[in-house]
Amino acid sequence: MATTTRHPSHRTPKQHFKVCFCFRRMFRLKVVEPPDEINTVFEEYSRDGIMSMDDMCNFLVGFQGENEAVTTHAQAIFDSTLKHLNIFQRRGFHIDAFFRYLLNDLNGPLAEVHHDMNAPLAHYFMYTGHNSYLTGNQLSSASNTSAIIKALKKGVRVIELDLWPNSRGDDVLVHHGGYEFI
């Protein structure tokens, strides 16, 4: 979960992130104000600088594509994002609260899985890379780690690596096509 604080002795606010449910990392924000794109979206979905719960529902459905969004979902967002305010101050989001929500865990980058994922693994398509260490064809091309990096950047999520211990047994060698990488 991300939270933003501003210590009186610091000029720029800091963003706090919870990592692995165990500890927090703190980063100094480079941007103090929301970017122009965020301001434009906020102006489109808010009225008089305040985004109400109905406006939030419209944003969730119209901009985020969350067709399942209902008032209770917007209420949960308001309650968790504006929990530091008393009940009378929770009229809606101003631009800073909206910006904090966009960086919050409640607005994660991935939607929940909507598919039944109970089938055996062999029933699913996986984008894999066979011989992804090769810079060209399998018979005459060279092996190189840059080819693996290129495959990963193209979206491959599974790569083939042959790992073997070295002669002393204190390190691992990666063997491919007569070449080895240390």
For the chain, the structural domain boundaries read: 33-107, 124-181
33-107, what's its fold?
Recoverin; domain 1 (1.10.238)
pTM of the model: 0.46
| Share of residues in the chain with pLDDT > 90 (%) | 5
Q: Which residue has the higher pLDDT, 123 or 31?
A: 123
Q: What is the mean pLDDT of residues 23-28?
A: 58
| Share of residues in the chain with pLDDT > 70 (%) | 66
Lowest mean pLDDT among 4-18, 21-35, 127-141, 143-157: 4-18
102-119: pLDDT as tens digits: 877 777 766 666 677 788
Q: Which residue has the higher pLDDT, 10 or 145?
A: 145
pLDDT for 107 equals: 77
Q: What is the mean pLDDT of residues 141-155?
A: 78
Strand 179-181, strand 158-159: pairing: unpaired
pLDDT at 9 over 90: no
Q: Which long-range contacts (CB under 8 A, 24 or more apart) does 74-79 make?
A: 76/106, 77/101, 77/106, 78/53
Residue numbers annotated as active site: 130, 176
Judge contact between 148 and 159, C-beta under 8 A: yes
* CA-based nearest residue to 64, from 100, 105, 108, 97: 108
- The segment with the largest mean pLDDT, out of 48-57, 104-113, 132-141, 151-160, is 48-57
